[in-house]
C-alpha cells in the first residue's frame, strides 16, 4: 500500500497495489500495521458501516463528538464518490479548511479521516456502496454534523445542488460558525 498526505493533517489517501491476471484481480484494501506506521499512532477499528446511495445523494457532513469521536477509513467497493473532509479541530493549522477527493471501485483507493474532522460525500454513480471502518461505536447522543452547503465553507460538490438528494436531517444541520459558539 502507498499513502499520500493531504493538505489536512492526518487525512491520508490510501492506494492499494493491484495484482491482476486472467482470473481478475487481488489487492489489500487495509493494513493496520502500515497505516499506523505512516500515521505514527495506533488505530483500533471496532465497527463497519455501509451505505448504498443513488446518484447525486449527499450524505454529511457528519462527525461524532467527544468522548466518542471517530476516525474513519472510507472505501468504495462499488461505484464512485466525491469524498469531502472538513477540519473541525480548533487547535489545527487547517481548522475550517476542507478537501475533496474522488474514491472509487476502479481506483481501489480509500481515505483515512482522523478524529476531529467532519466527513461527507456525494455519490457520483447509481447504487454506489460506501463502506467505512470506525474506531468508536456509534452514539446517537454524540452524533452531529455541519450543513453540506455552508456558505463559509464553499464546498464544490460538482453538481447543481438543486439536483442533489439530501435527507431532511442533513438539510437541517447547522452551519460551521454555529459550532464555533457551541465549542465542538
- The residues carrying an active-site annotation are 62, 132
Residues in contact with 78: Cβ distance below 8 Å, sequence separation at least 6, in sequence order: 105, 127, 128, 129
Cα–Cα distances (Å) from 110 to 134, 141, 159, 160, in that order, read 13, 28, 22, 26
**Look-up: residue for cell 492526518?**
10
Cα–Cα distances (Å) from 76 to 14, 37, 51, 162, in that order, read 12, 23, 10, 25
Burial of 121 per CB tally in 10 Å (0-12, 13-18, 19+): buried
Cα distance between residue 180 and residue 150, in whole Å = 14
**Largest Cα–Cα separation, the chain:** 57
Cα distance between residue 109 and residue 17, in whole Å = 9
Amino acid at each position: 500500500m502507498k499513502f499520500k498526505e493531504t493538505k489536512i493533517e492526518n487525512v491520508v489517501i490510501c492506494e492499494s497495489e493491484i495484482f491482476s491476471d486472467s482470473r481478475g484481480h487481488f489487492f489489500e484494501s487495509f493494513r493496520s500495521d502500515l497505516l499506523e506506521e505512516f500515521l505514527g499512532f495506533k488505530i483500533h477499528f471496532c465497527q463497519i458501516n455501509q451505505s448504498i446511495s443513488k446518484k447525486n445523494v449527499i450524505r454529511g457532513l457528519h462527525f461524532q463528538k467527544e468522548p466518542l469521536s471517530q476516525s474513519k477509513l472510507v472505501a468504495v467497493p462499488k461505484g464512485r464518490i466525491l469524498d469531502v473532509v472538513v477540519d473541525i479541530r480548533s487547535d489545527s493549522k487547517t481548522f475550517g479548511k476542507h478537501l475533496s477527493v474522488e474514491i472509487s471501485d476502479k481506483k481501489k483507493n480509500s481515505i483515512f479521516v482522523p478524529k476531529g474532522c467532519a466527513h461527507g460525500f456525494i455519490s457520483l454513480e447509481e447504487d454506489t456502496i460506501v463502506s467505512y471502518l470506525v474506531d468508536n461505536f456509534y452514539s446517537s447522543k454524540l452524533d452531529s454534523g455541519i450543513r453540506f452547503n455552508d456558505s463559509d465553507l464553499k464546498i464544490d460538490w460538482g453538481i447543481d445542488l438543486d439536483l442533489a438528494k439530501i435527507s431532511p436531517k442533513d438539510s437541517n444541520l447547522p452551519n460551521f460558525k454555529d459550532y464555533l459558539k457551541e465549542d465542538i
